[in-house]
A = this chain, B = another copy of it.
Amino acid sequence: MFSGLSAFPLTPLNAGGIDEPAFVRLIERLVAAKVDSIGALGSTGNYAYLSIAERGRVARLAVEHAAGVPVMVGIGSVRTRDVLALAEEAQRAGASAVMLAPVSYQRLSDKEVYGLFEDVTRALSVPLCVYDNPGTTHFTFSDELHGEIARLPNVASIKIPGVPNDTIEAKVRVERLRALIPSHVSIGVSGDALGAMGLNAGCEVWYSAIGGTFPEAMLAITRAAQAGNADESLRLSARLQPLWQLFGEYGGSLRVTAAAAELLGLVEAPCLPRPLKAVDGEARERLAALVNELALS
């Protein structure tokens, strides 16, 4: 399951809590588009803002409506006890894999992060994806630490934050990591602006935040890259440059993706948990025009 396009849907909220019908509709869109896997409760799915019970419910809904498409579930939490409880919930829900970021309040040491993955992988019966996202965890993995963690049982993939925005440098970066991890562990790129670049550089998966809301456009990029048509994948990605630009200006993809889903009526507004706010004002107007221009739907 750790290849192609892994699409990360929002977990939309409304006044009553989780907006379950809207979440199910997002899952059904991904199934209809034929994504390769679904990443429920990633950063885009606001896992860090939900209770253990809410996360269990979302995991079950995702698997129930995925029509056999493999579902990976985010189990990150600052406390090992809670990560273990979340892993148990995800497995009971029928997740095909789990994803774990070393989320922190107190900045973690390498030893503490290794200990976390050691404790969690020991308790799993499904594969695990190591989620490397320094922007939210404030932990920076060395490639050497990735190599050590990748040797733990059940580790099957690493989600890296991005690659250099240059064809040669991106290849060098992926090859350096590849040399340090076992061959059965796949490397997945995230950072949507760099999806095409990452796939062309040898990443087996694109873990895509925007792909959870607009799967068709991201599948076109993915299929071009998988077919060895690097130029076409880069051209399709470059077409979305104004969107990548907005992500850059507004602290990542979440607040923009949420606003796009609200604008299209896929979810109620506001769909993000307070204190988070989707982009508004002038940025929201630019986004509305963009969604229209790019025929995103």
Q: Which residues of A contact B (CB under 8 A)?
A: 43, 48-49, 78-81, 102-103, 105-109, 111-113, 115-116, 119, 135-136, 138, 251-252, 254-255, 273-277
**Contact in complex: A113, B275 (CB < 8 Å):** yes
**Contact in complex: B80, A275 (CB < 8 Å):** yes
**Contact in complex: A80, B119 (CB < 8 Å):** no
Chain B residues with CB below 8 A from A275, complex form: 79-80, 102, 108, 112-113, 115-116, 119
Minimum CB–CB distance for A48 against chain B, Å: 4
Chain B residues with CB below 8 A from A274, complex form: 79-81, 115-116, 119
Tell me, in angstroms, the Cα distance from A255 to B273 when the chains sit together: 32
Minimum CB–CB distance for A151 against chain B, Å: 18
Minimum CB–CB distance for A87 against chain B, Å: 14
Tell me, in angstroms, the Cα distance from A113 to B136 when the chains sit together: 17
Tell me, in angstroms, the Cα distance from A192 to B276 when the chains sit together: 32
Tell me, in angstroms, the Cα distance from A111 to B279 when the chains sit together: 11
**Contact in complex: B252, A106 (CB < 8 Å):** yes
Tell me, in angstroms, the Cα distance from A49 to B80 when the chains sit together: 9
A137 closest partner in B (C-beta): B105
Q: A43-B105, A43-B106, A251-B109 are in contact. Are A79 and B115 (CB under 8 A)?
A: no
What would 9 more interface pairs be, CB under 8 Å, given A43-B106, A80-B273? A79-B273, A106-B251, A106-B254, A107-B251, A112-B276, A116-B274, A116-B275, A119-B275, A138-B138
8 example contacts (A-B, Cβ-Cβ < 8 A) are as follows A48-B78, A49-B79, A102-B275, A105-B136, A106-B251, A106-B254, A107-B135, A109-B251
Chain B residues with CB below 8 A from A108, complex form: 275-276
**Contact in complex: A112, B273 (CB < 8 Å):** no
Chain B residues with CB below 8 A from A135, complex form: 107
A120 closest partner in B (C-beta): B275
Query: Residue A78 contacts which of B49, B102, B106 (CB distance < 8 angstroms)?
Result: B49
Chain B residues with CB below 8 A from A111, complex form: 277
A105 closest partner in B (C-beta): B48
Tell me, in angstroms, the Cα distance from A251 to B104 when the chains sit together: 13
Most chain B Cβ neighbours within 10 Å, of A80, A106, A112, A252: A106
Tell me, in angstroms, the Cα distance from A273 to B119 when the chains sit together: 13
**Contact in complex: B105, A105 (CB < 8 Å):** no
Chain B residues with CB below 8 A from A273, complex form: 79-81
Top 7 A-B residue pairs of the complex, sorted by shortest distance between their CB atoms: A48-B105, A80-B274, A116-B275, A112-B275, A49-B79, A79-B273, A80-B275
